[in-house]
Amino acid sequence: MSPRRNRQRGAKPVDRTGTSRYGLEETAEWRGEDWVVRQVGGGGAAKHYRCPGCDQEIPPGVPHVVAWPQHGGVDDRRHWHKACWNARDRRSARLQRSRNAPRY
């Protein structure tokens, strides 16, 4: 007996234009500038990041948001907790760290 097929024969593949391996990109306005925002699932998060909203670490495997200015480069990307990104207007992104705090 052959294994079961997960899709019907003749079914056309889903067109995923505008997608990447980490998720859909959206555009949001913040501080008078357009930002590209991408949701990263837990499986796509493989490194430690520092959230600019709360200055706490985002450990590997935790879903989060990656945001960068629309006309910025790779070095301008910032990894945020989802709640911190949603509260970005109520939080400051320029927190003062102590001298011994690691910079990620």
pLDDT digit string (tens) for 25-60?
A: 888 888 888 889 999 988 888 889 999 888 899 999
Nearest to 43 by CA among 69, 64, 17: 64
Where residue 75 falls (left for φ over 0; alpha for ψ -120 to 50; beta otherwise) is alpha
What is the distance of C-alpha 36 from the center of its chain?
9
Q: Classify burial at 42, counting beta carbons within 10 Å of its beta carbon; exposed 0-12, middle 13-18, buried 19 or more.
A: exposed
**Residues of the chain above pLDDT 70, percent:** 65
Q: What is the model's pTM?
A: 0.64
